[in-house]
Chain A
Amino acid sequence: MTTAPRDTEATPAAPSIAAPPDRRLTEAIAELEQLLGAARVSQGDADRLTYSRDMWPRTLLAVRDGVPAVAPPDLVVWPASTSEVSAVVRIARRHRLPIVPYGAGSGVCGGAMATRGGIIVDLKRMDRVLEVVTADHLVHAECGIIGQLFEEQLNRRGMTLGHFPSSIYCSTLGGWLAARSAGQLSSLYGKIEDMVERIEVVLGDGRVVELSRDQMPDLGALMVGSEGTLGVITRAWMRVRPLRDFRIFRAYRFPRVAAGCEAMRRIMQRELRPAVTRLYDEMDTLMARPSKHDRPDESSLLGGAGALLGGVDADVQRSVVRAALSRAGMLSKVAESLLPRISSGCLMVLGFEGDRALTEVEAALAHAEALAAGGEDLGQGPGLHWWDRRYAVSYKMSPMFAAGALVDTMEIATTWDRLLELYDEVRKALSRDAVVLAHFSHAYAEGCSIYFTFAAAAKDRASSEALYDELWRRGLDATTRVGATISHHHGVGLSKAAFMSREHGEALSVYRQAKHALDPDGVLNPGKMGL
């Protein structure tokens, strides 16, 4: 195995937690304390440690190796208003200190890590719902609000955003917008960029602007997804929908992935809009099969491994997982050869929600399409089970790392004509050194996302990091070769930064030009997104 070429930003050295003395910093702290009060400015070790990483799985390798402070910022601030954010940015700019906007830290690409030091701007104090206009189905909110709390406030008024990422308990509205998040019901409600009406943004020079989708061109679409590199999104007007609690779930078994994909394509292209469309490949379906120990959820690899090892001593668990996954390539080959005998096909879950009469008709039409594509009706059970456990996946990763493995997920997307090629190529690229499962979700009339979960193990941190990087390099190399996009909804941050030029080609220069125009001093989240 060759060592992957790595973006230097992607492998931050482990700096000392002790901040170096710096006059710029000292002056900036004095100004920030005057602005926010000392209680909302911290240079303390505990805070710098807490904010030294987000949920990028690669950082867990360092944490497991006893290096918890992966990329500590110089300081952390907690502004409570747009004007305070603006003033913080002006101070940072004056002292040439990087600004890293921070929501709840649930990003999985290293996008909220202060790899060049500077100031983490935690926006969670900006958590108010400012206005709800029921007649217009519009909500004005500050961007630091936690997703679940936002949704609950809307539900109390009979509305929903319709955005349910598995991180909903630990991610913010601003984070969703910054990374172009997708929720589990995106086939019905769309992605976050489809829900935004207007945003308020603090630019790199501290100016505050409002950008609306009604303006032409829609420069708000430049900010959404820019992961804090073009501006700090402080407030948003979001489009919401009436809350509907009538749901229908139905599950099907398909002999192969291709038949399941065909069913999904036919359903979406008939202009039906299921809220949930999930198709698990044979391996994922196998791992998701409930065992007597547990009822694994959609994180089948993680849940399945946990179920198998439940009750076993932690040290033994660690040895077993590491021993098995250090030969992941061989394990994959064995599994592949056994699949024809042990496969239970591919599970597909469809879910509809909305007005009862219309939903029943849509579900019936989709049911007919699924059967026509070769699906075997499994009833509503698997769908209801998935619904009950739909947020559990976000909390399964750390135990696997603790058990000695490395695990990550890769969510890529393309049009239907290339989807199976993408599935085959990426699986082939990863399975030489990892156990690979996949499910297809976030379906659209023109294409779909594939969500790969891969697991492997190596003997120490250095070789684990090398393996981790190599798996990503291979996976994204295959993705861009097929012509697919390298991220459907997790974003880019550091983990995919090296592939941005492959993703965008010459068009990346447009992003760089926008960066130059809107953040001429480069203070906003530097070193990210391959800029």
Chain B
Amino acid sequence: MSDASEHARQAEALSRQLAEIVGAAHVSGVNADLQTFGSLEPDMVVWPAAAPEVARILDTCRAYDAAVGVTGARTRRAADWDRPARVRVALNTRRMTNILDLDESALTVQAQCGIRLRNLELALQRSELTLGFYPVQLHESTLGGLLAEPPPTAYTPMTGRMIDSVLGVSVARVDGSVIHTRVAPRRATGPDLARLYLGAGADFGVITGAVLRVMRAPELVLPLLTLHRELGTAVESARQLLALGVRPARLRVLEANQARRELGEPGYALPAVCIAVLAGPGALVDAQGRAFSEITANLGGSELPQKLADTWWAQQREPEREATMARPARGAALRYSSFAAVLAQLRDKLGDASGEDAELWIDAMSLHGLELWAPRGSAAAEAMDAMGLASIGRERPPLLQALREVVDNTGTMLERGPLSEPPRIVGDADVTR
């Protein structure tokens, strides 16, 4: 028997086994279904509905020496899948979309991995709750995708990283078991085992659900825009706000080209803009706003009209508008201590570049660092490459392979390439998650 026919025979046998687990309607080897999974090029796709089904699928695939790639809403650019000659199964989570529990006393929500962030947020909004003010460009991603491969944009100063809001995860493992890490506000009972899975793709298993911290919709949301003569002081104003202990729902700094893109042409120059969206109890937000004004004034900046800030914020909350703004971008994590030197070097390299080529923005600011972004393919991004600035999300820890060899010694879970891309517009064919 040829290798190809043996492969086909194996695939057919596995498909029958998977159909027994999820029902024949939820396994497909039809080309139209398979083609949507891009570079994974699976032999079949399977759509489980619950964690035990996922676990049985993994166990069965392991028994057949098949390889499994996990996909959610496929809003991310294709990673470089390892494509072994073995039978390949795409496990898609689109049927796992339930909210299992919403606890309005403890402010926690438990949801399955396939739910899109938009739907989760809508459900929370009905109870006047929210996960936080994450960019709406993430709303088409699944919860599982955002936790397994967190994009850098899944961060706000108010909530921290989305993965930091995870109180517990459920994971289906290659050995057919399902684990649930215990939900507690905090604990000291050994390592945080959930962290092995968050950000690990599906290296160690499939995150089938999670319990997340949510928050009440703030009483007041106040977007503020401040104008600075140069990027350095705009960044410094943001840093000083954070140093006061203020945790804005959004905090960004835009250089002139990016400011024009996001704010339009207000009729005056916008060399550098700092955006702080304050949220919380009204009296506290007001006090924080006063503090921000004082910081701005001390640094020689000025406040932009509230109407401009309100318009910007309204646009940020519109999914369609936000989607058109979203572009593939290249980012670098920097420290404040090196920011000025990096910026000077970058400007030197950019010379007279303007427009999209020179667009820069700063995001994910904390008291300890920031992220500098530029549109992918722009002169600024190329300059960042030339300067050797580390690309965000590409760094994998040591020891991964050693852990994989113990946790998944059959190599059932397909290895994924580096994570680096912010979400792209939904619907792109060349995406896998």
Contact = CB atoms under 8 A, between A and B. Distances in A.
B403 A514 contact: yes
B107 A179 contact: no
Contacts of A446: 106-108, 167, 185, 213
B406 interface: yes
A505 B190 contact: no
Contacts of B199: 216-218
Contacts of B193: 222, 504, 507, 510-511
Interface string A5-41: 0000000000000000000000000000000000000
Interface of B is mostly: loop
- Of B180, B281, B335, the most chain A CB neighbours within 10 A belong to B281
Interface string B243-279: 1111000000000000000000000000000000000
Contact of A354 (B197, B203, B245, B398): B245
Contact of B281 (A272, A483, A484): A272
Given A216-B396, A418-B106, 20 more contacts: A133-B337, A137-B243, A138-B335, A209-B397, A216-B149, A218-B199, A219-B397, A224-B191, A270-B280, A355-B244, A413-B185, A416-B106, A417-B103, A446-B167, A486-B189, A504-B193, A511-B191, A513-B407, A514-B406, A517-B402
A225 B105 contact: no
Nearest to A503: B189
Contact of B105 (A219, A416, A442): A416
A124 interface: no
Interface in B372-393: 393
B367 A214 contact: no
Interface stretch (B87-95, B287-295, B299-307): B287-295
Contacts of B395: 212, 214-216
Interface string B98-128: 0000010111100000000000000000000
Contacts of B197: 217
B26 interface: no
Contacts of A510: 179, 193, 196, 407
A488 interface: yes
A197 B368 CA distance: 9
B283 interface: yes
Interface in B303-333: 333
Contacts of B60: none
B344 to A, nearest CB: 16
A442 B103 CA distance: 20
A210 B395 CA distance: 12
A200 B399 CA distance: 13
B49 to A, nearest CB: 21
Nearest to A203: B399
Given A216-B419, A217-B397, A445-B213, A136 B336 contact: yes
Contacts of A221: 191-192, 195
Contact of B189 (A133, A444, A500, A513): A500
Contacts of A226: 190-191
A504 B189 contact: yes
A504 B399 contact: no
B1 interface: no
Contacts, number: 249
Interface stretch (A57-65, A356-364, A378-386): A356-364
Given A215-B397, A217-B197, A516 B367 contact: no
Interface of A: 133, 135-138, 179-182, 186, 188, 191, 193, 197, 203, 209-212, 214-227, 229-230, 239, 241-242, 265, 269-273, 354-355, 357-358, 361-362, 364-365, 413-418, 442, 444-449, 483-492, 496, 500, 503-507, 509-511, 513-514, 516-518, 529
B243 to A, nearest CB: 5
B150 interface: yes
A448 B336 CA distance: 35
A56 B397 CA distance: 35
A365 B396 CA distance: 43
A403 B215 CA distance: 48
A449 B337 contact: no
B186 A488 contact: yes
24 contacts: A137-B243, A216-B150, A219-B397, A219-B400, A222-B195, A265-B105, A271-B281, A355-B244, A358-B244, A358-B284, A365-B284, A413-B186, A416-B105, A417-B106, A446-B108, A446-B167, A503-B189, A504-B190, A506-B177, A507-B182, A509-B179, A510-B179, A516-B406, A518-B403
B33 interface: no
Contacts of B406: 513-514, 516-517
Contacts of B229: none
Nearest to B178: A506
How many B residues touch the partner, as a band? 35 or more
B405 interface: yes
Nearest to B396: A215
Contacts of B218: 271
B35 interface: no
Contacts of A211: 397-399
B85 interface: no
Contact of A212 (B246, B397, B399): B397
Nearest to B198: A217
A162 to B, nearest CB: 10
Contacts of B30: none
Nearest to A499: B189
Given A197-B368, A365-B283, A491 B196 contact: no
Given A137-B368, A216-B199, A218-B198, A354 B283 contact: no
Contacts of B213: 445-446
- Of B177, B189, B367, the most chain A CB neighbours within 10 A belong to B189
B368 A485 contact: no
- Of B103, B395, B397, B406, the most chain A CB neighbours within 10 A belong to B397
Given A133-B337, A137-B368, A505-B179, A209 B184 contact: no
Contacts of B149: 216
Contacts of A486: 189
A496 B190 CA distance: 11
Contact of A357 (B188, B290, B333): B290
Contacts of B200: 216-217
A218 to B, nearest CB: 5
A137 B180 contact: no
B354 interface: no
A112 to B, nearest CB: 15
Nearest to B216: A269
Contact of B287 (A357, A414, A529): A357
A372 to B, nearest CB: 13
Q: Which 3 A-B residue pairs are closest in the complex by CB-CB distance?
A: A216-B199, A447-B185, A221-B195
Contacts of B368: 136-138, 197, 239
Interface in B221-246: 243-246
- Of B107, B158, B218, the most chain A CB neighbours within 10 A belong to B107
A358 B186 contact: no
A415 B399 contact: no
Contacts of A273: 245
B179 A507 contact: yes
Nearest to A133: B337
Contact of A219 (B106, B336, B399, B419): B399
A365 B108 CA distance: 24
A257 to B, nearest CB: 16
B367 A413 contact: no
Contacts of B215: 269, 271, 445
B316 to A, nearest CB: 20
B13 interface: no
A176 to B, nearest CB: 10
Given A136-B369, A355-B245, A364-B283, A230 B184 contact: no
Contact of A361 (B181, B283, B393): B283
